[in-house]
Structure 1
Amino acid sequence: SLFGSGEDQRDEAQRKEDEMVLLLKKAKLSMHRGQLQAASGFLHQAVVLAHQNHNNQAIIYTYSLMANLAYVQGQLDSAEKLFKAAMSFMLAGGTPQDDNAVIEMSLKLATIYAEQNRAELAEHGFRFCTESLEAKLEKHKELQEDEKETRLLLGLCLDSRARYRAATLHLKQAGQDYLDALNICLQEQGETHPQTLVLMSDLATILDLQGRHDDALVLVQQAVDLSRSAGHPDQHVLLGNLAGILLHTGRMDDSVRFYQEALHLARQAGDQEAVERIQEGLREVKNRRNQERTEDGKEAAP
């Protein structure tokens, strides 16, 4: 079948392509069901076929899925290598360095470095992401292009950097990043959007840590009121935060009341991590009350 060889090769390539698409579908379904081992197996098979067919798009897509999978499994070293591989294929294929997809991966890398306490790389990564996006938005402004997606990505970068800065106790810079992220979210998503409310609450936490308890209280109270009107899915998180800030301002009864409401909602939502945090808060209220009683007792003693 000398004449059919070209056709056979095309058929073979098509067969590999179909098989790869099927493997990627199976991988996504497995990830959705939480069967991460199975997903990983399907992706490893898919990436081999993508390479055999020299399908650059598929290679990039598969590597980024593998990288995300490694990341959620806490395999940070593999996630780092896979994100870098995906990025190098993108850049080699002519994708510009300030493309949103490239920046999203750079942000994931920065987050990985932050979790590994590789401070210099994390700082550099976050700065690359925010500065690239700000420059791009500046350029877009002159062209008057639609930039919602780019602005939201900038908000995400600022939010991630704020969390990193808060964790390393750079509170002033963290506060600035949260404020900038909040302003973007307010502008693009509106004041009742879940992300807006979480950012309000996070900014309140920073103000609280800086000792600005009254400012923190006003902001977190606003977030809670808006979340009640909007039926926010993470309302228990906001209420727990409000309760914590009330505790720091010495309003024990109010603190307990909101902690208990938060506890009820957290249990309903099945958010075990939040339940433990709230119980920890209630223990802190109890300790603080005992402390005050002891001090009152000492003062009352002749």
Structure 2
Amino acid sequence: MAAPMKHVFRVIRACSDKFYKHTGFGFMCRTRGTIGYTQLIRPQKYSCYSKSFHPTWKYGGYTGIGIWSFFTMKKEEVNETEKEAEHDVTDGDKDKDLLQDQTDIEHYIRLAKIAQMKKEFEEADMYYHKALKVANKKFKADKLSKKLSIQARTYIFDAMADMALSQGKFDKAEVLYKDTLKGYLETGGDRKDNAVMELTLKLSSLYAMIKKDHEARLGLTTVIECQEEKIKANPKSDIDTYGLLGIALQTYGRFLLHHNELEKAETVFCRCEEICSHAVGENSSQMLRVLNDLAAVQIVQSNYTKAEVTLQKALVISQNMESCDAVHAIYSNLGAISLKLSQLDLAETRCSTALKLAREAGDEFAQKQAYHCLRKVKEARQSQPVK
């Protein structure tokens, strides 16, 4: 093969490895569909969520074919990549044949991701289509095997689907995700592979966003059942398998919460907590998000004592972490619980602490929550009979 494809995903892999090896579920991509759906639920429906504390699992599967999202790149890494891309263009002017034969697909993908990060979506779409055109041209010229051609197209389709979803182009995103799934299966992938389950999760999240509840529920339960079977058969399954199960459980839990299936949601979040503990440990930011979800369900059910225990556990975890941007949200939620239990002094203390920490974090939404709590405390005191 005249132009080997082993470097096609090199830059994407390098960036994601640098960024994710210190956090979460290992070397996996951010699930845009899940993130988009969780934002629909929080905080519009329930006031117990802070914008800085939204429970989004940052990572999803796709390990089967080496697909990573452009969202795995840090800002400084994007700048570095942009410089490299500009350098490639200069070199290309000197030796266009070399650029075309060895780095053209990767080059266009990098340019697309840079444009996507800058929200220059039309330019990004143009570069993705150029990459597709080059991959097709190489395949027809026998410079690229059918399998590698499908892998390249699959990667590009997935990236374009994520971009379409971020723009609210749901129909386009659905078609592209399905094309990605088809491409993966054409390369010999199994229908129960993590990559297929990840795509199913993305589609399910998308369906939830457009209120196709039956399809969303079916897809989410399918992913959960499949991943649970894998873990039951092999408790030592890799981190991707556990991580994907965690994503699916949390997404499904929030789906159930949104539809007021509260007891079932609590059960799902408890299982999610178990998986999170196994995958990333107790002292992790992801565990805080799961506990906040669990507490949210308990609050909505008026199980304030249980919710306080859950949030106190989250508070201890946050204090054991070197840095945590969720502490003010925990204090705010604890203050709300104290207010519900008519513990006005404790509610004031907790909400005041939440306000102070939210100011330091620059979280305007959390500040509004804390102000609201303090105002309710004041109103409750004024309504008390004079002794």
TM category, shorter: 0.7 to 0.9
CA positional deviation for 1:59 = 0.4
Q: Partner of 1:53: helix, strand, or coil? A: helix
| Structure 2 partner of 1:28 | 113
Match of 1:232 among 301, 312, 324: 324
C-alpha change, 1:177 and 1:17, in structure 2 (3 Å) is farther
User: 2:232 aligned to 117, 138, 142, which one?
Assistant: 138
Q: Distance in 2 between matches of 1:123 and 1:43?
A: 32
Which of 283, 293, 299 is the equivalent residue of 2:382? 293
Distance in 2 separating the partners of 1:107 and 1:236: 31
- From 159, 166, 169, the counterpart of 2:257: 166
Aligned residue number for residue 172 of structure 2: 78
**Does the CA-based 8 Å contact 1:107-1:125 persist in structure 2?**
yes
**What percentage of residue pairs aligned between the two structures are identical?**
26
Aligned counterpart in structure 1 of residue 313 of structure 2, from 222, 226, 238: 222
Q: 1:101-116, aligned counterparts within 5 Å?
A: 101-116=195-210
User: In 2, Cα distance between the equivalents of 1:50 and 1:270?
Assistant: 45
Deviation at 1:239, TM superposition (A): 2.6
Kindly provide the CA deviation profile for residues 176-215 of structure 1, in whole angstroms up to 9, marking residues without a partner as x.
1111011111122111111012111211111111111011
CA contact (8 A) 2:329 2:366 kept: no
User: Structure 1 pair 137/288, CA: closer, same or farther in 2 (3 Å)?
Assistant: same
Note closer, same or farther for the CA distance 1:285–1:250 as it changes in structure 2 (3 Å cut): farther
In 2, Cα distance between equivalents of 1:17 and 1:70:
29
User: Counterparts of 1:281 and 1:194 in 2: how far apart (Å)?
Assistant: 22
Larger helix share, 1 or 2? 1
Structure 1 residue 13: deviation in Å? 11
233-242 or 156-165: bigger deviation: 233-242
Change in Cα spacing, 1:224 to 1:85, as seen in structure 2 (3 Å) is same
The amino acid that maps onto 2:124 is A
CA RMSD of aligned residues (A): 2.7
Match of 2:158 in 1: 64
For residues 44 and 134 of structure 1, do their structure 2 counterparts lie closer, same or farther at Cα, with a shift above 3 Å needed? same
2:337 is the alignment partner of 1:245: yes
Bigger RCO of structures 1 and 2 (CA < 8 A, at least 6 apart): 2
Q: Does the 8 A contact of 1:256 with 1:282 survive in 2?
A: no
Once the two structures are superposed, residues 134-166 of structure 1 have per-residue CA deviations (whole angstroms, 9 ceiling, x without a partner) of 12223334xxx5432201210110001111111
1:85-124 → structure 2 map (5 Å cutoff): 85-124=179-218
Q: What is the distance in 1 between the residues matched to 2:135 and 2:348?
A: 57
Shift of 1:84: 0.9
TM (norm. structure 2) is: 0.67
TM-score, normalised to structure 1's length? Answer: 0.84
**Counterparts of 1:41 and 1:159, CA distance in 2:** 35
Give the partner amino acid of 2:313. Answer: Q
Q: 1:44 to 1:239 in 2, by over 3 A?
A: farther
C-alpha displacement of 1:117: 1.2
Equivalent-residue separation in structure 1 for 2:138 and 2:362 (angstroms) = 45
- Measure, in 1, the Cα distance between the counterparts of 2:166 and 2:361: 21
**Given that residues 328 and 355 in structure 2 are in contact (C-alpha distance below 8 angstroms), is that contact kept between their aligned partners in structure 1?**
yes
Size of the aligned set, in residue pairs, is 285
Paired residue for 1:276? 365
Residues 257 and 188 (structure 1 numbering): CA distance in 2 closer, same or farther, change over 3 Å?
Answer: same
Change (3 A) 1:47 1:279: same
C-alpha distance in 2, partners of 1:223/1:207?
A: 14
1:202-213 matches, within 5 Å, as 202-213=293-304
Counterpart code for 1:174 = A
Q: Is the 8 A contact 2:335 2:373 kept in 1?
A: no
Q: How does 1:31-46 map to 2 (within 5 A)?
A: 31-46=116-131
